[in-house]
Structure 1
Amino acid sequence: MRILVVGAGEVGSSIAGSLSDAHEVVVVDLDPDRVESLTYAEDVLAVTGDGTDLDVLADAEVGLADVVIASTDDDETNLAVCATVKTVSDAFTIARVEDTNYLDTWREHQGAFGADFMVCTQLLAAETIVRVVGLPTARQVDPFAGGCVELAEFDVPEDSPLAGETVADADRFDELTFVAVVPEGADHAKVTRGDTVIDGGSRVVVVGRPASVREFSRAVDPERAGNRVDDVVIVGGSTTAELTAEQLVDRGITPRIVEFDPERARELAERLPSATVFSHDATDPEFLSREHVQDADAVVATLGSDERSLLAALLAKQAGADRAIAVVDQARYVDLFETVGVDVAVNPRRVTAEEITRFTRERRAENVAIIEPGGAEVVEVEVDEESVLAGRPLRDVNGDLPDGVVIAAITRDGGYVTPRGDTVVEVGDHVVAFAEADVVDEVTAKL
């Protein structure tokens, strides 16, 4: 498949890098330095120029493209790219936007702006935050199979009841599959075996029914997982903050929002009558103490500045807040945030690249989650007659799949099927599989 990516920033570069091994990728960007850097770093063809210019698109051979992804940091440019492409090509177009108004218009009028699909960076970030808030001990939560299946990644505390157990010993949860363990300090996630030891300080990735995932979370960290999430403080009045608050209200949680600018605070109070809004500096320790931020189940820092978000998150943790989640604009800071004390760092560009990637996977991959570090992936595929799984028990399939793969969950007619050696996969089943980074493309093609 030929994929044209317009915009070689963090999102575009991430998409190009993840797809270049299996597809022919062309990248267009105005910045010649970015173009040169990407050409050396990835196996892509790069073109310097304006992606809204028909001559530049012609140089990039847009007429041969199967998919065009508009991923610059400017909404209007991305929409213009999609509209321009549609005048000269039948390619499937994907637009990345920040402004939810564009997304609302597109949803009401499919195909508006020349976009066949649209992703909103701030909405995706808010959805990620809310999923993590809802599972108190998780660092990542992704839904699959229409919400019937969840992937969750957990830190294993040194004093966890599971610390020191093998996967075989810990595998006592119905409708749950252990797929990977990331030892402390390791640079990639590895498939688990029965004798894999779950050490304290490591990370473990599981896939299963939501109820089983929650049961597992209580086993990993009983003290924290037993807490009901009622009190969430959102620091900053950004659009991401507003969208996060809206979704928390929908889940029955009344958030508290702290926004320094009085005008924006007033606007949020009018838009979110169920929320409590303060106009104050959230980095003021006296204010944090007076408003009992130390009692919050979670504090979400989204101040539009990575430095200020980090400060607010760490101050909230220092005050005694149970959990701190921070929105991080620069992907390179994610590990730093989590190293110095932030429980979960959410990078909107990363979740956007992940969302777009799933639309360009070969062989109908319907959902994709990326497991860091190392870029392992969990993919969801609907099985057809050409799949290596069709009509065969899983134990007979092992020889046809590379090492580094786990069939983690199966759904059939809306029901959950726990994958075991004698489980026969049927055409039409939805299969969720974990694959280490170096075998992702091979596995996706075979499934």
Structure 2
Amino acid sequence: MRIIIAGAGDVGFHLAKLLAFESHDINIIDTDDDKLQYISNHLDVQTTKGNSTSFRTLEEAQVAKADLLIAVTESEATNISTSIIGKNLGARKTIARITNTEYLHKKEILDLKDIGIDEIISPESLAAKEIKRLLKQTALTDLFDFEKGTLSLVGITIDEQSELNGKTLVEAAYLNPDHSFTTVAILRNGETIIPYGENKFLNNDHAYFICQPDGVERVLDLAKKQSEDIRNIMILGGSKIGIQAALQLSKKYNIKLIEEDRDKCFELADTLQNTMIINGDGRDVELLKEEGIDEMDAFIAVTGNSETNIISSLVAKNHGVGKTISLVENMDYIHLSQNIGVDTMINKKLIAASFIFRYIRKGQVVNMTTIHGVDAEILEFEVTEGSKILKHELRNLNFPKSAIIGGVIRNGKGHIARGNFHFEVKDRVVVLSRSECIRKVEGYFK
């Protein structure tokens, strides 16, 4: 597939990094020499210097031969213009990154396809949805349901109290006699481990499991974690993400939102009628105490300053808040969450890049998600007639070591796939795979 990416920022770079493993023909357009040079030094892609709204630049990048044009610059106007011009110059499909969420809510009225935009994405809206998903369980650092919870991906932090601490996967299996969960990844000091029998759980590890419904509670029991109901949430920052999160969460929870800009507070009060708006500096510990930080079940920091978000989340954690989520701009910070005490750090650009990657990967892949900080993807495949995976039981399939099969959904019921498991047509198979291994994994389902 020939793909042109307009914008060599974080979204463009991460997306190109994911796609580079897929053997696509990728060309990245940007006006910044330094960004293009950095990409050329780190990825096997072509680059074109210039403005993506320029006919000459797009023609130089051979847009007429492009299967997909993805516009993800920092400028919404540039992205929309690039998509429209690129489509008219021959690009088969276009995706535009936008910041104005009205485009999302008025898609049917606007009919953007008529003017040349096949798909739009809003990093802010995607981040707000991610926050809502992460609030399903306070004791878990991550939770993603397949087929309405038939199988679930869950993440926990291993601490000294955990029964899993110091045990190998083989030893942990004795604590799981019903085989209701399986370990699919361990994040340790920023390194992603695809674990097998002799790998050990260590203190401060972030461990990820695929679970049957009863397996989620079993994992929590073994980790000595107790989930609390969420009722009260404090949001720090009246950013676009803060607004979107408050709009979605206020339907179910009691929300307080703290914003430093007094004028903006009046605007927020008009927009967020079911949210209590507080004017103040969220870095002020006394203010947080006055506004009942001790009574909060969750704290979400989404200001434009990563350090403010991290520090305020740590303050919230120190006051007994069960769940903390912090927005960070620097992708490298995401790996720090397990070491410094913030439950989950999210990056809107990383979420956006992963969303676009999932959009491109449609085909044998039924479902796909990412885990914050983990260098791997979670994919759901459907087994079809003639699939290679039907030939042998799991232990004899020679499945890639950079991937692991976590579970199978068959006839509406979740199963944990062990060595003697035989796959059947129409099975939904949940796999964790490193990005460079996805094509090889996909081969088992063709």
Q: Which residue is equivalent to 1:137?
A: 139
Query: Take 1:142 and 1:330, find their aligned partners in 2: how far apart are those partners?
Result: 24
Contact 1:39 1:45 in 2 (8 A): yes
Q: Which residue is equivalent to 1:158?
A: 160
- CA offset at residue 369 of structure 1? 2.9
Equivalent position to 2:404, from 399, 406, 410:
406
SS at match of 1:212: helix
Query: Take 1:204 and 1:336, find their aligned partners in 2: how far apart are those partners?
Result: 15
- CA offset at residue 421 of structure 1? 4.2
- CA offset at residue 336 of structure 1? 4.4
Amino acid in the other structure paired with 1:4 = I
- CA offset at residue 96 of structure 1? 1.8
**Identity of counterpart residues, as a percentage?**
27
Amino acid in the other structure paired with 2:407 = A
Q: TM-score, normalised by structure 2?
A: 0.89
Contact 1:135 1:214 in 2 (8 A): no
Q: Which residue is equivalent to 1:315?
A: 315
SS at match of 2:160: coil
Contact 1:328 1:347 in 2 (8 A): yes
- CA offset at residue 107 of structure 1? 5.2
- CA offset at residue 174 of structure 1? 5.8
Q: Which residue is equivalent to 1:74?
A: 75
Q: Which residue is equivalent to 1:237?
A: 238
Q: Does 1:254 align with 2:254?
A: yes
Query: Take 1:25 and 1:37, find their aligned partners in 2: how far apart are those partners?
Result: 15
Q: Does 1:178 align with 2:183?
A: yes
Q: Which residue is equivalent to 1:37?
A: 38
Query: Take 1:174 and 1:264, find their aligned partners in 2: how far apart are those partners?
Result: 52
- CA offset at residue 210 of structure 1? 5.5
Amino acid in the other structure paired with 2:196 = T
Equivalent position to 2:193, from 158, 166, 189:
189
From the superposition, tell whether residues 33 and 107 of structure 1 become closer, same or farther in structure 2 (CA, over 3 Å): farther
Query: Take 1:45 and 1:80, find their aligned partners in 2: how far apart are those partners?
Result: 22
Q: Does 1:328 align with 2:328?
A: yes
- CA offset at residue 45 of structure 1? 0.7
Residue correspondence of structure 1 range 9-408 to structure 2 within 5 A: 9-22=9-22, 23-106=24-107, 108=109, 109=111, 111=113, 113-145=115-147, 148-167=150-169, 168-172=173-177, 175-182=180-187, 184-185=188-189, 187-193=191-197, 195-209=198-212, 212-222=215-225, 225-250=226-251, 252-336=252-336, 339-361=339-361, 363-371=363-371, 375-389=375-389, 391-392=390-391, 394-395=393-394, 398-399=397-398, 401-408=399-406
SS at match of 2:156: strand
Contact 1:180 1:192 in 2 (8 A): no
Amino acid in the other structure paired with 2:134 = V
Contact 1:106 1:113 in 2 (8 A): no
From the superposition, tell whether residues 384 and 77 of structure 1 become closer, same or farther in structure 2 (CA, over 3 Å): farther
Query: Take 1:209 and 1:107, find their aligned partners in 2: how far apart are those partners?
Result: 38
Task: Provide Cα deviations, 1:31-82, integer angstroms capped at 9, x if missing partner.
Answer: 1221122112100011111112222111111222222211111112111121
Contact 1:337 1:345 in 2 (8 A): yes
Contact 2:204 2:338 in 1 (8 A): no
SS at match of 2:268: helix
Query: Take 1:294 and 1:159, find their aligned partners in 2: how far apart are those partners?
Result: 24
From the superposition, tell whether residues 162 and 428 of structure 1 become closer, same or farther in structure 2 (CA, over 3 Å): same
Amino acid in the other structure paired with 2:153 = L
SS at match of 1:138: coil
- CA offset at residue 303 of structure 1? 1.3
Amino acid in the other structure paired with 2:397 = N
From the superposition, tell whether residues 119 and 170 of structure 1 become closer, same or farther in structure 2 (CA, over 3 Å): farther
Task: Provide Cα deviations, 1:78-109, integer angstroms capped at 9, x if missing partner.
Answer: 11121112112252222222221122223553
Query: Take 2:61 and 2:287, find their aligned partners in 1: how far apart are those partners?
Result: 55
Query: Take 1:338 and 1:199, find their aligned partners in 2: how far apart are those partners?
Result: 12
Moved beyond 6 Å, runs of 4+: none
Task: Provide Cα deviations, 1:317-337, integer angstroms capped at 9, x if missing partner.
Answer: 344433322111222333346
Structure 2: tracts of 5 or more residues without a match: none
SS at match of 2:405: strand
Query: Take 1:161 and 1:219, find their aligned partners in 2: how far apart are those partners?
Result: 5
Contact 2:334 2:373 in 1 (8 A): no
Query: Take 1:39 and 1:386, find their aligned partners in 2: how far apart are those partners?
Result: 40
Query: Take 1:141 and 1:314, find their aligned partners in 2: how far apart are those partners?
Result: 21
From the superposition, tell whether residues 124 and 85 of structure 1 become closer, same or farther in structure 2 (CA, over 3 Å): same
Q: TM-score, normalised by structure 1?
A: 0.89
- CA offset at residue 423 of structure 1? 4.0
Query: Take 1:431 and 1:387, find their aligned partners in 2: how far apart are those partners?
Result: 12
Q: Which moved more, 1:117-126 or 1:141-150?
A: 141-150
Query: Take 1:206 and 1:230, find their aligned partners in 2: how far apart are those partners?
Result: 27
Contact 1:122 1:240 in 2 (8 A): yes
Q: Which residue is equivalent to 2:425?
A: 427
Number of equivalenced pairs: 440
Query: Take 1:245 and 1:288, find their aligned partners in 2: how far apart are those partners?
Result: 18
Query: Take 1:254 and 1:211, find their aligned partners in 2: how far apart are those partners?
Result: 29
Structure 1: tracts of 5 or more residues without a match: none
User: Cα RMSD (Å) of the superposition?
Assistant: 2.6
- CA offset at residue 364 of structure 1? 3.3
Task: Provide Cα deviations, 1:271-306, integer angstroms capped at 9, x if missing partner.
Answer: 333322222222222222222202212211111122
